[in-house]
Amino acid sequence: MLKRLAPQRLVALFCGGLLALNYPLLALWDPTVTLAGLPLFPLGLFGLWAVLIAALAWLLERQDG
């Protein structure tokens, strides 16, 4: 049964990533904020991108039976 959920989970991850990395939510960030002298906007983007890649790898590498 869990094998049938894998495509649905991948589509949900894609839709979540699309929403998170698209204009309306990105416009909420303040690009002038810094953290330890580094701009927070690119750090947040790369962090979110890394989380999406890790979630994709976790979904694809699972051994469900």
pLDDT tens digits along 18-60: 999 999 888 999 989 998 999 999 999 999 999 999 999 999 9
Rounded CA-CA distance 12/8 in Å is 6
Q: Average pLDDT in the 3-25 region?
A: 91
Token code pair at residue 52: 């999406």
pLDDT at 16: 96
Q: Which residues pair with 34 in a beta bridge?
A: 39
Phi, psi for residue 29 in degrees, rounded to 5: -75, 145
pLDDT at 65 over 50: no
**Dihedral angle of Cα 27, 28, 29, 33, to the nearest 10 degrees:** 120
Q: What is the DSSP letter of 36?
A: T
Rounded CA-CA distance 38/32 in Å is 10
